Structure 1
């Protein structure tokens, strides 16, 4: 679990004009909330925040009201065309606190021969873990699996201290048989079958 310290300055101006001025200055407007506290509006360094968000569920340390606090990105708004960060919502977390996050599901290995296809029913896996020890991903082996095989959430080996936040019998991966080849243009299905 990576932890990134970011500078943060209180935000006192609000509205579209203030947000545009902040973005022109290389800052991203954000809000920190959680633990029953009043939301705190901040401006964060845009480039540093963008680099930190490349890591799934990155734990950020930001100075708030004179002390460093841990926060997790909960909602990130990007410009639809240019992709730059427009706004970020940050959830205040404490060391030892359990939080629910979604982690990427990675696969390794080769399916059994025969042209089968691996269907990702879930691309991310909801898990619960301690806020300062969140796993970055979970990897599952698909080595030798053939058509019809499924991997359930309960089959995954999770990092220590991590539990499922989804039903244990949820299908996360499924192997399906490849579709028969489509007939060539101008050829009927019967002719394609006769050649096979």
Structure 2
């Protein structure tokens, strides 16, 4: 594991919204570590370094908790809905070689057959992987796929050591030919036919008046 994923953290003893605001004002992030039957441990993370690490999904961090080292997986990140700054992080204790269940993003590569489009139905797939070898994504190639082609979770080529947790029949994406919207044309045709019919009636009435 890269040293770039090591953070020095402090044990937190003050709680509540007021304390959390003070922590964030100091460019730090309140967090809680739990798992493996241990009591939840409240800590404070360095803001900028944590933000850089958590740009990657399912980041595993080596925590230096006042001299004690602990591996932890970023399980949940709470952000301000407007400013999008990190407000709180949940971390789960992991161990070297231990397997965890995580959602891994699906990454699409290539282009489907000319005249077709692909629609992604599943943006991430659930996998069981080693905590220290979590893949950044699962690559799906759509190169040359024809109209009607579908890719399910069972079709995915998984990284070495990973196993599928999502239902195998779950649809990941499908390929199709875009359908033209003929509604406007159909309405125009109906209006034209109605107008023509109305014109025929008017002509008949005119002829009857002239007689």
TM-score by length of 1: 0.89
Q: Does 1:119 align with 2:119?
A: yes
**Equivalent residue, structure 1, for 2:54:** 53
Distance 1:189 1:80, change over 3 A: farther
Give deviations 1:75-105, integer Å, cap 9, x for gaps: 1111111111110000110111110011110
Residue 66 of structure 1 deviates from its aligned partner by 3.5
* Count of aligned positions: 189
| Structure 1: runs of 5 or more not aligned | 192-196
**Equivalent residue, structure 2, for 1:7:** 8
SS at match of 1:8: strand
**Equivalent residue, structure 1, for 2:145:** 145
| Deviates most, 26-35 or 1-10 | 1-10
Superposition CA RMSD, Å: 2.0
| Distance of 2:15 and 2:81 partners within structure 1 | 22
**Equivalent residue, structure 2, for 1:157:** 157
| Structure 2: runs of 5 or more not aligned | 192-211
**Equivalent residue, structure 2, for 1:194:** none
Asked if structure 2 preserves the Cα contact closer than 8 Å seen for 1:183 and 1:189, the reply is no
Give deviations 1:18-63, integer Å, cap 9, x for gaps: 0011001110000000000000000001111111111111111112
Give deviations 1:121-174, integer Å, cap 9, x for gaps: 110011110111111111111011122110121211111111111122222111
Larger radius of gyration: 2
TM-score by length of 2: 0.83
Distance 1:74 1:188, change over 3 A: same
